[in-house]
Amino acid sequence: MPRLPLDPKLAYYEGVHQYIWPCHEELTHAERELNNILMLKQYLGPIKALHDAIQSAGCKSQVLTEFRTSCAPDRLRFLMECIESSVEGDAAYSKAPAAIRNNRLWAIKVPAIMSLISLL
């Protein structure tokens, strides 16, 4: 007699071991969040170069000065370190469906699994 999952929203697969898979809503939410992280990574990449360009040009405009101070590398360093520690360096956001799927698949760093794969 098969075991029923504790939460009715979870689907399960029965074989040698019983695996509990997340439901479609949870996967969709996770994919959306990963897309948001990849978009943020792509957006934050050129911010330092833009900050340096505004600073070296000596812009006196109030809007550009406020932009330069709000996008200072010191203010964004923690966010970039968090993204770099968990997302692969070559993962990027794209609009093509196949590229999106590949980027989501390989975006997350998993050091323990990578070290096991290198042993094979």
d(CA 44, CA 108): 18
Between residues 70 and 111, the one the model is more confident about: 70
Q: Is residue 32 part of a domain?
A: no
* Inside any domain, residue 64: yes
Is 67 within the bounds of a domain? yes
Domain count, the chain: 1
Range of the domain at 73: 45-87
pLDDT digits (tens, 9 = 90+) for 74-89: 888 888 888 888 888 8
3-state SS record for the chain: CCCCCCCCCCEEEECCCEEEECCHHHHHHHHHHHHHHHHHHHHHCCHHHHHHHHHHHCCCCHHHHHHHHHCCHHHHHHHHHHHHHHECCCCCCCCCHHHHHHHHHHCECCHHHHHHHHHC
Residue 53 lies in a domain: yes
- 72 lies in a domain? yes
CA 11/CA 104 separation, integer angstroms = 22
pLDDT of 22-71, one tens digit each?
A: 667 777 888 888 888 889 888 888 888 888 888 888 888 888 888 888 88
